[in-house]
Structure 1
Amino acid sequence: MKPRLSLKQHIALAYILLAVTLAGVFGLVSYISVGIVEEQIIDVRLAKMADGLISSVQQDQLPNAPADVRFLRDANIPQALRQLPVGIHELTLANRHVHAVLREHGGSRYAVVQEVDELAHTELIILLSLASGFAVSVLLAVVLGMLSARRLIAPVVALADAVQRNAGSTELPSLNAHDEIGVLARAFAKRTDELQQFLQREQMFTGDVSHELRTPLTVMLGAAEVLTAQLADQPAQYATAERIRRVAGETAQRVSALLLLARAAETLDAPRTVLNVIIEAEMERYRPLLQGKTVECRLEWREQVTAHVRPELAGIIIGNLLRNACQHTEQGSITVQLGAGWLVVEDSGTGIPQRVRERLFERFVHEGHWPAHEGSGLGLSIVKRVADHIGWDVRLETVPGGGTRFVLSFPALPTTQTS
């Protein structure tokens, strides 16, 4: 596809086209004017002169022709002129550029001839001057067009730079300008304020909700621990209490992760985290979802993989992908492959419908189409949001023969080989 011209180039091109048009029209008018002047000065003058000289001959008077004009009659007329019809002619005669008027009167043929080499030279100079003026006009239009475009575009470029570097609404240039640039700058400032206020409200809401949930979760976790200790000698009740304790602890970790999401990405510390441990913990967490199913869940890795990331945030991403795989796979296998800089979660389920794939990472879009497993539709949108927040990339790939494959990419760190 042919690249479009920039605004600066459009303005410069407009200058050039205007100069070409005006200079071309002026040159054409000048050329026509030279032709008209030539006809009026030479041809009309020679025609009048021929009538006067012939009249003098008819009155038996000696014709008085100017020094630069030759008056010829009958046999004195050159052969090249005898062949021409009566009228005014422009031709080369004896290597001279001449204008000639031919007349016939009283059975005689007359010719009035004037050399116009000097006039032709003058005409050539005029045409060369017009061509030079045209070239200079175009060149001047190019220079003025580039200078004017640079000056006109400078406020737009400054505004674009300010927007690109996320400058505050009060830091945008041309806010007080009364032209179109000022209108655009004020519109950007208003939009920036609205976005910043929305982001601030969202961060405050996420932080407040997460903070409010921490206290009841702490109470639940403490009560679950006490209950677990009291039911140590009752295996059936102990398993239930232990599960409550484990889920409460995991929920508390998720709330802590949401608190981290409420903070700006550049303010988060990113310790060196071993992802193998997090994956194993998440696999163990969602293994109960596979009870009663003929599904094999396995982890494949050859090395210890680390990344600069908060464990809570990495757990949200990996956990949501594993939970989806466990929920939507009724038989077959779930494979988690880990390598330096990448993580693949693949299952042998029925896959994701094409109509859902295009909007998979949007909020409230369900990953599957089984009524028994439909949830809030937030899982993968959270995965996408967390991945963007920490600088990771998540994508869905097509699996031949059905199933689902999610691929995570992240900055790789030096790995440790296992024995």
Structure 2
Amino acid sequence: MKPRLSLKQQITFAYMLLAVTVASVFSLVSYISVAIIEDQVIDVRLAKMADGLIAAQQQGHIPDAPPDVRFLVNASIPLELRQLPAGLHELTLDNQHVHALLRGQGGSRYAVVQEVDELAHTELIILLSLASGFAVSVLLAVALGMLSVRRLIAPVAALADAVQRNAGATELPSLKAQDEIGVLARAFAKRTDELQQFLLREQMFTGDVSHELRTPLTVMLGAAEVLAAQLADQPAQCATAERIRRVAGETAQRVSALLLLARAPETLDAPRTVLNGIIEAEMERCRPLLYGKTVECRLELSEQVAAHVRPELAGIIIGNLLRNACQHTEQGSITVQLGAGRLVVEDSGTGIPQRVRERLFERFVHEGNWPAHEGTGLGLSIVKRVADHIGWDVRLEVPPGGGTRFVLCFPVLPAIQTP
């Protein structure tokens, strides 16, 4: 695609185009006018001189012609002129550019010849003047365009810089201006204020919900630990208590991850985290979703892979991708491949309809037609949001054999050497 000109370039180009158009029309009209005037002046002058010179010749007087005009009669007329009919002619005679008026009167043939070299020189000077004026007009247009651009674009540039710096709504420039820049600045200010208020409400809501959930989760976690200790001699009940404790602990981790999402990405610390253990834990957590299904879930890796990320956020992404695969695969296999800078979660399910693929990572968009696993339509949108938050990339691919493949890409870190 051809790159579009910037606003500065467009304004300067418009000035230059206007100058070229006006100067071209003016130069053309001037040149045509000069040519017409030249022809008219020479023709009228030759006709008047011819009348006077022929009259003097017929009265027996010696014709008195100007220095640049020759009056020729009969045999003195050069052969080049004799062959021409009566009237006005423009030609080269004796290596000189001349205008000649031929007449026949009283049985004699007359020729009045005027040299026009000086006129041609004058015409050249006029043409050079027009060309110089044309060039100067274009240069002046470019200079005027650049000056106008600086004056017109300066408020827009200042406004863009303020928006880029995420300045407050009241800090934007040109808010009191009554021109179009003022209208744009006030529109930006209104929109910026609305966005800031929305983000503030979202952060406060996320923080409040996470804070309020921490206390009951802590109580549940403590109660499950006490219950597991009391039921140590009853394996069946002890397993149930341990499951409650594990789920409460995992939920507490998710709550902590929500608090991290409420913070700006640049304020998050990103320790070096080994992803192998997180993947194995999330796979173990998703195994209950495969009960009663003929689905094989396997992990393929050859080394430990690390990334700069908070473990809670990595767990949200990986867990949602694995749950998505487990819920929508009734038979076949789920394969998780981990390599340097790349995690692939592929299943042999029925795949994703074409109508859903383009909007798959939007909120409340369901992946397919599985009534038993419709859910809320938020899983993949959360994956996308967390990935964008930490600077990772997630995309959907369609395997040749059918099914679904999600590819998660992240910055590559040197592999950890295992003993």
Shift of 1:217: 2.0
1:49-88 aligned at under 5 Å gives the runs 49-88=49-88
Distance 1:67 1:292, change over 3 A: closer
CA apart distance, 1:109? 1.5
Q: Which residue of 2 aligns with 1:290?
A: 290
The amino acid across from 1:102 in the alignment is L
Aligned to 2:264: 264
Residues 68 and 313 of structure 1, relative CA distance in 2, 3 Å threshold: closer
Query: Quick one: structure 1 residues 68 and 279, their matched pair in 2 at CA, closer, same or farther if it must change by over 3 Å?
Result: closer
**What amino acid maps onto 1:217 in structure 2?**
L
What is residue 185 of structure 2 aligned with on the other side?
185
Distance in structure 2 (CA, Å) of the matches to 1:352 and 1:369:
9
Q: Give the Cα separation in 1 of the matches to 2:332 and 2:40.
A: 102
The answer (yes or no) to whether the contact 1:302–1:418 under 8 Å persists in 2 is no
Distance in 2 (CA, whole Å) between partners of 1:415 and 1:39 is 90
> In structure 2, what residue type is equivalent to 1:156?
V
- Residue ranges of structure 2 left out of the alignment (5+ in a row): none
Distance 1:243 1:128, change over 3 A: same
Q: Gapped runs of 5+ residues in structure 1? A: none
Residue correspondence of structure 1 range 328-343 to structure 2 within 5 A: 328-343=328-343
For residues 120-174 of structure 1, give each alpha carbon's deviation from its aligned partner in whole angstroms, at most 9, with x where no partner exists. Answer: 2222222222223223322333343334334433332333333334333334333
Aligned residues: 419
Q: State the AA in 1 paired with 2:306.
A: T
Which residues of 2 match residues 14-413 of structure 1 at below 5 A?
14-413=14-413
Question: What secondary structure is seen at the aligned counterpart in 1 of 2:297?
Answer: strand
Q: What is the identity percentage for the equivalent residue pairs of Structure 1 and Structure 2? A: 86
Contact 1:302 1:417 in 2 (8 A): no
- Distance in 1 separating the partners of 2:117 and 2:285: 105
DSSP 3-state at the match of 2:91: strand
Contact kept in structure 2, 1:392 and 1:409, CA below 8 Å? yes
Q: How far apart are residue 364 of structure 1 and its match?
A: 0.8
- Answer with 300-309 or 160-169: which moved more: 160-169
**TM-score, length basis structure 1:** 0.93
Deviates more, 1:224-233 or 1:26-35: 224-233
Separation in 1, partners of 2:261, 2:280: 23
What code does the residue aligned with 2:268 have? L
Partner of 2:300, secondary structure, is strand
The one-character-per-residue Cα deviations of 1:334-376 (angstroms, maximum 9, x if unpaired) are 2222222222222222222222221111111123321111111
Distance in structure 2 (CA, Å) of the matches to 1:46 and 1:7: 58
Q: C-alpha separation between the residues in 1 aligned to 2:397 and 2:418?
A: 29
SS at match of 2:414: coil
Alpha-carbon distance in structure 1 between the residues aligned to 2:79 and 2:105: 19
Equivalent residue letter for 2:280: E
- Whole-Å Cα distance in 2 between the matches of residues 153 and 244 of structure 1? 63
Using the alignment, how far apart are the partners of 1:125 and 1:348 within structure 2?
85
TM, length-normalised to structure 2: 0.93
3-state SS of paired residue (1:174): coil
Alpha-carbon offset, residue 61 of structure 1: 4.1
Separation in structure 1 between the aligned mates of residue 305 and residue 171 of structure 2, nearest angstrom? 43
In structure 1, C-alpha distance between the alignment counterparts of 2:180 and 2:140, rounded to whole Å:
28
Distance 1:341 1:51, change over 3 A: same
Distance in 2 between residues matched to 1:121 and 1:416, nearest whole Å: 87
Contact 1:300–1:338 under 8 Å retained in 2: yes
Contact 1:359–1:365 (CA<8 Å) still a contact in 2?
yes
Letter matched to residue 35 of structure 1: A
Instruction: Measure the CA separation in 2 of the matches of 1:300 and 1:68.
Output: 103
CA distance in 2 between partners of 1:349 and 1:296 (Å): 12
Q: Which amino acid aligns with 2:57?
A: V
Give the whole-Å Cα distance in 2 for the aligned partners of 1:271 and 1:134.
66
What's the Cα RMSD here? 2.1
Query: Structure 1 pair 68/255, CA: closer, same or farther in 2 (3 Å)?
Result: closer
Amino acid at match of 1:302: S
Distance 1:58 1:156 in 2: 83
Output the CA distance in 2 between the equivalents of 1:350 and 1:228.
41
The question of whether the paired residues in 2 share the 8 Å contact of 1:207 and 1:259 is answered with yes
Deviation of residue 62 (structure 1)? 4.1
Q: Where in structure 1 do 4 or more consecutive aligned residues deviate above 6 Å?
A: none
Superposed CA deviations along residues 203-230 of structure 1, whole A, max 9, x for unmatched, are 1111111111222222222333333333
Q: 2:296 & 2:340 partners in 1: Cα distance?
A: 24
Native 8 Å contact 1:19 1:137 kept in 2: yes
Whichever residue aligns with residue 354 of structure 1, its letter is: Q
Q: Is the 8 A contact 1:73 1:109 kept in 2?
A: yes
Q: CA deviation at 1:252?
A: 1.8
CA distance in 2, matches of 1:353, 1:133: 67
- Quote how far apart the aligned CAs of 1:60 are: 4.0
2:5 aligned residue:
5
Alpha-carbon separation, structure 2, partners of 1:406 and 1:31: 71
Structure 1 Cα separation of the partners of residues 246 and 343 of structure 2? 26
